[in-house]
Amino acid sequence: MDQILDLSEKIYSVLDDRKAHEIVVLSVKGISPIADYFIICTGTSSTHINALADYVEKEMVKEGIQIKHKEGKQQGGWLLLDYRDVVVHIFNSETREYYSLERIWNDAQRVNFS
């Protein structure tokens, strides 16, 4: 398994452990200049969204992996964690439906870790 796919699986596991909903991993290699993988999930509240992001950051630091960039608003319904080749999108359900990243990136291959 390559290192970037391994990182994606680690992040997926962290999100799954913390009860993120509807976790989707998309391989956007070759179709996005931004990253190789997008991980998309839903949190149940702004508190849950923030806790998911904080836990991912904490667990990745334990692995020696530093975040490149973080953006989004605590109450805005969306947070983005940029790990260079892996970008994590944590949404509330309304914002996820509005942006519909799975539809926008429908050419991407879904990766199944479960």
Round the average pLDDT of the chain to a whole number and report it.
Answer: 94
CB burial string 80-107: b at 16+ within 10 A, e below: ebebebbbbbbbbeebbeeeebeeebee
Structural domains of the chain sorted by starting position, each given as residue range(s) with its CATH number in brackets: 3-111 (3.30.460.10)
User: What Å distances lie between residue 47 and 4, 44, 52, 63, 78, CA to CA?
Assistant: 28, 8, 9, 24, 11
pTM: 0.94
Q: Which of 83, 77, 3, 17 has its CA nearest to residue 47?
A: 77
- What's the confidence (pLDDT) of residue 67? 96
Q: What is the pLDDT of residues 36-61, one digit of tens each?
A: 999 999 999 999 999 999 999 999 99
Spell out the per-residue pLDDT of the chain, length 114, in tens: 589 999 999 999 999 999 999 999 999 999 999 999 999 999 999 999 999 999 999 999 999 999 999 998 666 789 999 999 999 999 999 999 999 999 999 999 999 997
